[in-house]
Homo-oligomer: A and B are copies of this chain.
């Protein structure tokens, strides 16, 4: 029974129990607390925070590499990087052997100071979130998440909508449903 009907009305469907929906709610709720912190107290947007975080860990990578690691598109990264440069939180040079590449790093005192303020808060926040879970449960959760992510990834490659039935109202990329 995959035709969507059962006695004339459509198959039972509860948004609340629909995986994409409640993952979205969970993600937004979990992100909210920490995001509000670094936004309100340090003026960092989510993309900015992500850029700082990966550059803290991988100094000298380029914007493209930041994008790969953070799953953000290059426009988002570009804008975040430029804002952070303006704020003095990042330094940018030019790769002499390939002048398209602009390696980035967290700047000497200012950028480092921000990270030293935000990271402990982020780790404490995460610890508080996970306080109820045993280490085993956390590991299970990570494992199951990883498997779902894997499944979603392969599904999205192969399982694209067969053919649009409707005037194609302008393709989208965003998601959250």
Interface residues of A in 125-164 (CB under 8 A from B): 125-126, 128-133, 137, 140-141, 144-145, 147-149, 151-153, 155-156, 159-161, 164
Q: Which of A32, A46, A133 has the most CB of B within 10 A?
A: A32
Minimal beta-carbon separation of A152 from chain B (angstroms)? 4
Closest to A172 in B: B39
Q: How large is the interface on A (under 10, 10 to 19, 20 to 34, 35 or more residues)?
A: 35 or more
Write 26 A-B pairs (CB below 8 A) sorted by A numbering: A13-B119, A15-B50, A15-B70, A19-B129, A20-B30, A23-B27, A23-B145, A25-B71, A25-B149, A26-B152, A28-B71, A28-B175, A28-B176, A29-B149, A29-B156, A34-B175, A35-B172, A36-B160, A36-B175, A40-B161, A40-B164, A40-B169, A41-B164, A46-B177, A132-B151, A141-B145
A-B pairs, 8 with minimum CB distance: A4-B120, A43-B169, A31-B175, A27-B27, A35-B175, A32-B175, A15-B53, A20-B31
